[in-house]
Homo-oligomer: A and B are copies of this chain.
Amino acid sequence: MSGVDVHICEVGPRDGLQNAHHLMPTAAKKAWISALAAAGLREIEVGSFVPPKLIPAMADTGEIVAHARTIPGLKVVALAPNVKGFQRAVEAGAHKIGFPVSASHMHSVSNVRMTPDEMVAQVKECCELRAALPADKRPEIEGAVATAFGCTLQGEVSESEVVRIAGLLVEAGVDCIALADTVGYANPAQMRRLYRKVRDAIGAKLDGVHLHNTRGLGLANALAAYEEGARAFDSSMGGLGGCPFAPGASGNVVTEDLVFMFESMGLNTGIDFDALLRAREILVNGIPEEPVYGHFAGAGLPKGFRRGAAA
């Protein structure tokens, strides 16, 4: 990841496909992940170790992790909702394991049948399990404070609760913290305010944001987070997965558009535009029934584009 100004983690194979209306065949997933890595994405969240009965789209995550591990230089990320998922992710060989811990009590109970504090206890147990592993088998662990900007069930989520959970996750032993706008409620002013509050509480362990584009504010929120110090951004190619509550709206913030924004601002993402658009074609061919979104793919680079051009 050296030499880049902004780290973009492609979460389409997990968050996108998990919310898609169609299944992508395993072979297509592998081809897509390889194409993403070839475009310069150094970190890809390839799947989730959840019960296959609950989310069939993630049933092949073990095989996908194994494939992704063969790609040189790629950090292979998997999501785990609990200790069992963590153990499966470790067995599969994920380099980094992410835990979503919802700051919304209602969302947490509804989603994982645990309170936020019970989820933190799971993360703590996983950090302890990791310490017992051989040094070369220990994955990086990220805690994502989910529904940090609001919740479709509960509505408002208190910022002090977000700060509290971020602090508990750091105490539990995670390596880094991200703030997740799980349902696309964030606005840029809130992003600045909350990012500062959490950073003031936990310092540099806060390094990323996970944004959705439900109300079109994804890039504006990414800009605000970047300007507050965030350097790690989750995004999904083609905004895959959409939003069941917003016809025509993409799911996660669109990778192609996010890369274009940062590159046009003069920031190096390490990602190649042409190769990124080829990966998008592979995505579209791999799951042709599923709509994809984004502006950059249609518009292309401005005439005479140079990164961060100024006159």
- CB-CB contacts below 8 Å: A147-167 with B: 150-160
Question: How far apart are the CA atoms of A264 and B149 in the complex, in Å?
Answer: 12
Copies in the complex: 2
Is there contact, CB below 8 Å, between B188 and A223?
A: yes
Option from B187, B215, B265, B303 in Cβ contact (under 8 Å) with A189 = B265
* Binary contact track A247-265/B, C-beta < 8 Å → 1, others 0: 1110000100100110011
Q: Which residue of B lies closest to A294 (CB)?
A: B216
Of A294, A298, A308, chain B has the most CB atoms within 10 Å of the CB of A298
| Chain A residues with a Cβ closer than 8 Å to the other chain, count | 57
Is there contact, CB below 8 Å, between A187 and B155?
A: no
In the complex, A131 has a CB within 8 A of chain B: no
- A151: B residues at CB distance < 8 A: 303
In the complex, A19 has a CB within 8 A of chain B: no
* Binary contact track A174-211/B, C-beta < 8 Å → 1, others 0: 00000000011101111001000000000000000000
- A224: B residues at CB distance < 8 A: 223
In the complex, A137 has a CB within 8 A of chain B: no
In the complex, A310 has a CB within 8 A of chain B: yes
* Binary contact track A219-261/B, C-beta < 8 Å → 1, others 0: 1101110000000000000000001011111000010010011
8 contacts between A and B (CB under 8 A): A150-B303, A183-B302, A185-B302, A187-B264, A190-B310, A215-B295, A243-B299, A248-B293
Interface positions of A (Cβ within 8 A of B): 150-160, 183-185, 187-190, 193, 213-217, 219-220, 222-224, 243, 245-249, 254, 257, 260-261, 264-266, 293-296, 298-300, 302-304, 306, 308-311
